A and B are shown apart, each in its own frame.
Chain A
Amino acid sequence: MAPGPPTVFPTSSLGVAQMAKAKGGQDLALADLLDRALSTGVVICGEATISLAGVDLVYVGLKVLVGSVDAVQRMTDASLAAQPVDGGKRP
């Protein structure tokens, strides 16, 4: 069987065929995949080094766990917000 994106299963409001074609079905699958692939799975040697929007995020030894894209984005935002503006020069 050729591998492919996981199937989106039916819900109470949509039949199987309808759900497979439903707009947003693939987005839903991606959201569920991101929830899992970024925050769960075997934690193994080395580093999980990922980058988001050009910002490298290095988790040395995987002691710090990645939460989710949303969590990573918030961390990135917070990090950027914490940086002083104008090269640190304040009036």
Chain B
Amino acid sequence: MTRLYIYGIVGATSFADPLPAGHEEAPVFALVSDELAVAVSCLERATVEVSGANVWRHEKVLSALMARHAVLPVRFGTIAAGAAELLEDIGKRRGQLLKDLARLEGKVEIALRILAKHPETTAPQADAAITLGTAYLLARRQSLCGTDATRLSVQEVSRAIRAGLDPLLAESVWPTDEPQVLPIRVSCLVKRGDLARFLQTVDDIAACNSDTRVTCTGPWAPYSFVGQSGVAGEP
């Protein structure tokens, strides 16, 4: 049985450029369903190991597709039992897939992290009432949430960045208004033409806050924006 590993879906009947090799060095090819093409490669093994190399390989295929097409990235590790099953499923979802492709055309995802530049550490608790378990939980909470002062500072920068970026965001996924866990992770859907302004805006706001660090990575395929209406919520 030939399994098919699935990378992504584009609104075309062929790919504009040759694609890099997929998992197991297998060639990536188009499985066409009407006006949609699914990027797949044959897979001998039943599973794909979660490793940096394998996840980058998945991403490299998507990056190559993104250079010339709007792309719907498929979740890492998705394997179809065969072409017939895959084409049947694509046919059933055709309407939603076409809607998503139209919505995401010309846009990319940028990942933002907002965190404290110098995470504070707390001296060990000397309170006899604090048991080992309580001390562990307190330390664990602080490692996730930071101190109150740190968290409030990061939340403030997050709000400023959100307000500053608002005109440049096609869609975005933010945590709740006062996220407790640091770093704050945000997914932003940005038009390619707005990327320079987006980065400059982040840079300008972050530069005014010496205690906070902001990182951006991307452009990614719009993983966080497929199959949803774009309503903000928890990432």
Contacts and interface: CB of A to CB of B under 8 A. Distances in A.
B149 to A, nearest CB: 19
Interface residues of A, number: 42
Chain B CB within 10 Å, residue with most, of A12, A40, A41, A62: A41
B139 interface: no
A10 B203 contact: yes
A43 B77 CA distance: 10
A11 B76 contact: no
Given A5-B56, A32-B111, A38-B50, A45 B215 contact: no
B63 A45 contact: no
Contact of A37 (B75, B110, B213): B75
Contacts of A39: 75
B201 to A, nearest CB: 11
Chain A CB within 10 Å, residue with most, of B78, B203, B235: B78
Interface of B: 6, 8-9, 20, 46-50, 52, 55-56, 58-61, 63-64, 67, 72-81, 85-86, 88-90, 93, 97, 100, 109-111, 113, 117, 185, 187, 199, 202-203, 205-207, 209, 213-221, 223-224, 226-227, 235
9 closest cross-chain pairs (CB), A and B: A45-B89, A12-B206, A50-B77, A36-B223, A41-B75, A37-B76, A32-B111, A9-B216, A3-B64
Interface of A: 1, 3-13, 28-30, 32-52, 56, 58, 62, 66, 69, 72
